[in-house]
Chain A
Amino acid sequence: MSDPKQTAGDLAYVRAKLEQAEGHDAPGMIYFLWAVIVLVGFAIVDFAAQYTAWFWMIAGPVGGITSFVLGWRHAVDRGAVSRDKALRHGLHWGGLLVAVIALLPLLVTGRIAPESFPQIVLLLIVMSYFYAGVHLDRALIWVAIALSIGFLVVVFVAGPVWTAVGALIAASLGAVGFTRVRAARAFAK
Chain B
Amino acid sequence: MRLAVCVLLSRSDGITFRHFKDLLEETDGNLGAQLRRLEDKGYVSASKRFVRRKPVTWYRLTPAGRRALRAHVEALDVLLREPAG
> What is the interface of chain A, defined by CB distance below 8 A to chain B?
1-2, 4, 7-8, 10-11, 13-14, 17-18, 20-22, 76-84, 187-188
User: Do B80 and A80 have beta carbons less than 8 Å apart?
Assistant: no
> What is the interface of chain B, defined by CB distance below 8 A to chain A?
3-4, 7-8, 11-20, 22-24, 51-52, 56, 58, 76, 79-80, 82, 84
User: Do A80 and B82 have beta carbons less than 8 Å apart?
Assistant: no
Provide the main secondary structure of the chain A interface.
Answer: helix
Given contacts A11-B76, A81-B13, A81-B14, contact A17 B19 (CB under 8 A): no
Give 9 nearest A-B pairs by CB, closest first.
A79-B19, A79-B16, A82-B12, A14-B4, A80-B15, A17-B4, A80-B19, A81-B14, A83-B13
Which chain B residues lie closer than 8 Å to A14 at the CB level? Answer: 3-4, 7
Residue of A nearest to B3 (CB): A14
User: Do A82 and B4 have beta carbons less than 8 Å apart?
Assistant: no
In the assembled complex, the Cα of A20 lies from the Cα of B22 at a distance in Å of 11
Given contacts A4-B84, A76-B51, contact A21 B8 (CB under 8 A): yes
In the assembled complex, the Cα of A126 lies from the Cα of B14 at a distance in Å of 33
